[in-house]
Amino acid sequence: MAVVQCVKCGNAGEAITDTLFLGRLEAEVKANVCKKCWKEWEAMRVMVINEYQINLGEESGRELVKKQMRSFLKLGETMDTSKLQQSYRPPQ
């Protein structure tokens, strides 16, 4: 099992091995985020899309999701996610 030092949780965790379909961002995510934190993002992504009523058919919608992802995973982007954090419940 490969291990990565996660920037989100600060712990060494299992590396992501699945294909993420993120283009150029994929290498950065896989090098800096553990599998557990990625799973948390996958749950949060649904909330982001629903809360902001994002149309993924538009480039601006996809860019907003990417910015939210980078912010949530602590990959350099900062955004106000307080609206989402209040409702967020980690997957069980």
The domain that contains 53 carries what CATH number? Answer: 1.10.3880.10
Amino acid at 13: G
In the predicted model, what is the mean pLDDT of residues 16-36?
A: 94
The answer to the question of residue 61 being in a domain is: yes
Rounded distance between C-alpha atoms, residue 47 and residue 16, angstroms: 22
Q: Over the range 14-43, which residues count as b (16 or more CB within 10 Å of their CB) and which as e?
A: ebbeeeeeeeeeeeebbebbbbbbbebbee
pLDDT of the residue at 89: 59
Would you say residue 21 lies in a domain?
A: yes
Q: Average pLDDT in the 44-58 region?
A: 93
65-76 tens-digit pLDDT: 999 999 999 998
Residue 91 placed within a domain: no
Number of domains in the chain: 1
**Residue 51 above 80 pLDDT?**
yes
- Whole-number Å distance between alpha carbons of 78 and 56: 21
Residue 60 inside a domain? The answer is yes
